[in-house]
A and B are shown apart, each in its own frame.
Chain A
């Protein structure tokens, strides 16, 4: 079974600092990688998608992908209290496989 693993946390970060969230996956040939944010009692919403090795930046968010090491990370710069949420890593295994597998999520708390 293909797996996606995340540290469940909770991860506490002071306001204004950088939050670093990590995710590893089991299948080297995976194609697409996503970070979703889920506030308590709400549905997940996409924060970032990344498809090739390297960094992808969008505002305060940077996704990093290293396919050789099978990990993907999310950095949140200048963390704000509104960033407090659970962050879900998701992997599409690709090559005609339309399954999307989520990790269990990392709960992030930004401390004012």
Chain B
């Protein structure tokens, strides 16, 4: 089954404790992206990647890191989480870029205390 898998589904952590949210797709997609969704602000793009070792900033990259060492995986890293990073995070992938259909993971609800 074609899918984008995010883990974990829920995560509660404390300020400053490094964490990684994993994202994996099995559709051989070139394009992968991370979004955060907050009430009243909608989906905002954090980072995206066009291919292995190619990543670029979205609209809200501060406080986040990503890597794309393999085509299928695109982890999101918060090296020193802060409470303002409490949010619902979505990973998405698409065939060849942002001008095509995106497939979204089921989301990760992160709470930073």
Contacts and interface: CB of A to CB of B under 8 A. Distances in A.
Given A49-B101, A98-B56, A88 B31 contact: no
Q: Which bracket fits the contact residues of B?
A: 20 to 34
B104 A98 contact: no
Nearest to A4: B42
B98 interface: yes
A99 B43 contact: no
Nearest to A6: B42
A99 B99 contact: no
A5 to B, nearest CB: 10
A49 B94 CA distance: 13
Contacts of B100: 32, 49
Interface in B40-68: 40-45, 48, 50, 56, 58-59
B42 A88 contact: yes
7 contacts: A8-B40, A43-B104, A44-B102, A49-B101, A90-B43, A92-B98, A104-B41
